[in-house]
């Protein structure tokens, strides 16, 4: 074999050996792994959480949210802040949350008033269906028609007779244009056939004070704002919007029992900016459900005239959507509009 053949043979053997080692290394090497998207709920919560309440402090939504927030902060060991951003019947606070980062740090605590406002006001600067995602319901409460004890009314019929006898009509106060109380109060005047003008206030506590001091004829309030004052003798509850109210205040008639075909509970729940991950919303919803099942919290809510209710994100989202559609239909029927 000549020198050229020897060199070629060595090159071929070297190449073969290299290929064998490459095959061994390739076989022994672990299969390639692909980076997985991090679970957004894996380390949640690691930063402060904020519940924006678009209504005044002391109202039903504020009371329920603060009870839940306190327990949540104790369990998760992070600050859970309740931020009252009041204005335009809940629009200011709602719009604020709609523009926040969907990172699970900001939530919107809403009441049925949110649905009523959206139902009657086509100019709100957000889309309730597209800008928010469901988290869960917290509670429901019957609403109560309250008046000053100075009137001496014995029944709803007495109030209706008084209102019809006023040539210029009467006034009712609410937590604002498009609030649930606005829908209740306007519906009652329409169904009973008397003239009533709306005197919107900053929030439910202020609206109740107007009725309690007889500056307006009547107002509507959920249990947390009506029952304690009624038990203290500071105002009178004439009638309630549902059988649940009659159970909470024995002796108080429902509207149906009083001869007026009207019924409906107020509700309280939580929404999040639309793109908030479902995993985070489900985690918050489950924690809310755990808190709302605590006997001491259920008892505290009952004292205020509210009942703890837990639902998941999808169920609450559907409920809100259906409520808005129903409120819009009722508002159109009675001619209720944004003043």
Instruction: State the pLDDT at residue 269.
Output: 98
In the predicted structure, residue 8 carries a pLDDT above the cut 50:
no
Residue 125: φ, ψ to 5° = -80, 30
DSSP string for residues in 147-178: E-GGG---SHHHHHHHHHT-TT-EEEEESSTT
Query: Which domains, and CATH codes, for the chain?
Result: 49-141+266-334 (3.40.190.150), 142-254 (3.40.190.10)
Instruction: Give the residue-averaged pLDDT of 175-204.
Output: 92
Which one has a higher pLDDT value, 176 or 285?
285
Look at residue 40 in the predicted model and tell me its pLDDT.
58
Average pLDDT over residues 297-317: 93
**Residue among 319, 202, 236 nearest 271 (CA):** 319
Token reading at 127? 């889309």
Cβ atoms 193, 164 nearer than 8 A: yes
Above 60 in pLDDT, residue 17?
Answer: no
pLDDT for the residue numbered 41: 63
The confidence band for 36, taking pLDDT boundaries of 50, 70 and 90, is low
Contacts of 46 (CB under 8 A, 6+ apart): 78
Cα–Cα separations (whole angstroms), residue 307 to 52, 178, 241, 265: 21, 23, 15, 11
Q: Residue 256: count other Cβ atoms within 10 Å of its Cβ.
A: 14
Q: What are the tens digits of pLDDT across the range 191-208? A: 999 999 999 998 899 999
Give the pLDDT band (50/70/90) at residue 34: very low
pLDDT band, very low/low/confident/very high, at 25 (cuts 50, 70, 90): very low
């Amino acid at each position: 074999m000549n020198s050229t053949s020897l060199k070629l043979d060595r090159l071929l053997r070297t190449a073969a050996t290299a290929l064998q080692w490459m095959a061994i290394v390739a076989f022994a090497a672990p299969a390639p792994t692909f980076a997985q998207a991090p679970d957004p709920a894996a380390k949640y919560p690691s930063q402060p959480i904020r519940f924006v309440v678009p209504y005044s402090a002391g109202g039903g939504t504020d009371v329920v949210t603060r009870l839940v927030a306190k327990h949540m902060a104790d369990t998760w060991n992070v600050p859970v802040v309740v931020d009252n951003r009041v204005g335009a019947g809940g629009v200011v606070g709602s719009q604020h949350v709609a523009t926040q980062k969907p990172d699970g740090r900001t939530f919107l605590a809403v009441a049925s008033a949110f649905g009523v406002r959206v139902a009657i006001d086509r100019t709100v600067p957000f889309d309730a269906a597209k800008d928010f995602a469901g988290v869960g319901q917290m509670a429901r409460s019957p609403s109560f028609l309250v008046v000053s004890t100075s009137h001496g009314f014995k029944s709803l019929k007495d109030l209706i007779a008084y209102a019809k006898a006023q040539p210029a009509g009467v006034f009712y106060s609410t937590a604002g244009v498009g609030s649930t109380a606005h829908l209740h109060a306007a519906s009652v005047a329409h169904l009973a056939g008397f003239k009533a003008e709306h005197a919107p206030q900053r929030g439910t506590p202020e609206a109740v004070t107007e009725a309690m001091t007889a500056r307006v004829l009547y107002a509507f309030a959920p249990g947390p704002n009506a029952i304690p004052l009624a038990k203290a003798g500071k105002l009178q509850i004439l009638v309630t919007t549902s059988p649940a109210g009659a159970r909470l205040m024995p002796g108080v008639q429902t509207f149906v029992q009083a001869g007026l075909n009207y019924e409906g509970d107020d509700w309280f729940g939580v929404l999040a900016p639309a793109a908030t991950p479902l995993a985070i919303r489900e985690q918050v919803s489950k924690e809310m459900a755990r808190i709302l099942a605590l006997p001491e919290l259920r008892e505290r809510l009952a004292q205020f005239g509210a009942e703890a209710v837990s639902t998941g994100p999808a169920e609450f989202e559907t409920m809100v959507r259906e409520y808005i559609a129903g409120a819009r239909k009722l508002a159109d029927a009675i001619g209720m509009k944004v003043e």
